Amino acid sequence: MGGRQATAARRDGDRPGRPSAEARDRAGRILERLRAAIPDARCALDHRNAYELLVATILSAQCTDERVNQVTPAFFAEWPTPAALARADPREVEQAIRPTGFFRNKARSLLGAAAHLVERHGGEVPSAMADLLELPGVARKTANVVRGVAFGLADGVVVDTHVRRIAGRLGLTHHADPVRIERDLMGLLPPASWIDASHLLIHHGRRTCRARRPLCGSCPVAILCPSAASLGGASAGRRR
């Protein structure tokens, strides 16, 4: 996925900064190690097309991907297209997605997005960032996921809770705001790697660099991690 065409964001607010060559080289080496350690990194949300990915990503807010994947098969069997979903009874949609949490807000977003897709895009999920951001319930993170995974296009890097944590621990950013974290990562990494980087950091956060008990002793990037010593992985870093 990272090898597909990636397009840089054109708006001033999305332009990455100018980190040093040393910082960019270090970020590249981190990515290389993660690619070697996690060759199967991909989107964890089960989907067959852009519509299913859009729905799953909206449902994933404040919910685990595993729980979303448990809910979506029945959801898509009942509402397989935006047109079908746009005609759905809101109460039935709420009941179907209740296990994902915040089900009333998510149902409004899903129904609004479906209606918008039918009315303005012929029932198809658009690939343009501006069009995606017009959909109810879709912010930049969701739009980045859909563009990157479904269309192989990148305006930036998906920043979820895992990416936010890992980027900070690895010293790739000193910010807490997702927008600023994304800009830092965009400045450090070439556009062709933005999609790949998101998947790699997310999987690394799930498998190894966990929030409470990071597995520094088996971390493939411990030697490049400024947080390894404080997290208990100094000896692992020296061994690698």
Q: Check residue 2 and give its pLDDT.
A: 41
Is residue 14's pLDDT more than 90? no
Q: Check residue 229 and give its pLDDT.
A: 76
Higher pLDDT, 104 or 231: 104
Are 6 and 191 spatial neighbours (Cβ–Cβ below 8 Å)? yes
Q: Look over the chain and give the mean of its residue pLDDT values, rounded to a whole number.
A: 90
Active site members: 141, 160
pLDDT tens per residue, range 107-136: 999 999 999 999 999 999 999 999 999 999
The whole-number average pLDDT for the span 89-118 is 98
The whole-number average pLDDT for the span 213-236 is 82
Helix axis angle for 21-37 and 178-188, nearest 10°, is 90
Instruction: Write down the residue that tokens 């977003």 correspond to.
Output: 109
Report how far residue 224's alpha carbon sits from residue 5's, in angstroms, rounded to the nearest whole number. Answer: 28
* Domain covering 50-151, topology: Endonuclease III; domain 1 (1.10.340)
Which residue type does 223 have? I
The whole-number average pLDDT for the span 60-64 is 94
DSSP state of 47: -
Query: Considering the entire predicted model, what is its pTM?
Result: 0.85
Q: Label residue 182 by pLDDT band (50, 70, 90).
A: very high
Q: Check residue 239 and give its pLDDT.
A: 41
**How many residues does the structure list for the chain?**
240
Helix axis angle for 194-207 and 178-188, nearest 10°, is 120
Are 207 and 38 spatial neighbours (Cβ–Cβ below 8 Å)? yes
Cα(first)–Cα(last) distance of the chain, in Å? Answer: 28
Q: Check residue 17 and give its pLDDT.
A: 52
pLDDT tens per residue, range 74-85: 999 999 999 999
Is residue 5's pLDDT more than 50? no
b/e map of 178-215 (b: 16 or more CB within 10 Å)?
A: beebbbbbbbbbebebbbbbbbbbbbbbeebbeeeebe
Q: Label residue 217 by pLDDT band (50, 70, 90).
A: very high
Q: Label residue 164 by pLDDT band (50, 70, 90).
A: very high
Q: Check residue 47 and give its pLDDT.
A: 98
Domain boundaries defined on the chain: 24-41+157-239, 50-151
The whole-number average pLDDT for the span 167-175 is 97
Task: Give the percent of the chain with pLDDT over 70.
Answer: 89
Domain 24-41+157-239 has CATH 1.10.1670.10: yes
Question: Nearest CA to 16 among 234, 201, 193?
Answer: 193
Is residue 34's pLDDT more than 50? yes
Q: Check residue 230 and give its pLDDT.
A: 79
Is residue 144's pLDDT more than 60? yes
The whole-number average pLDDT for the span 3-23 is 55
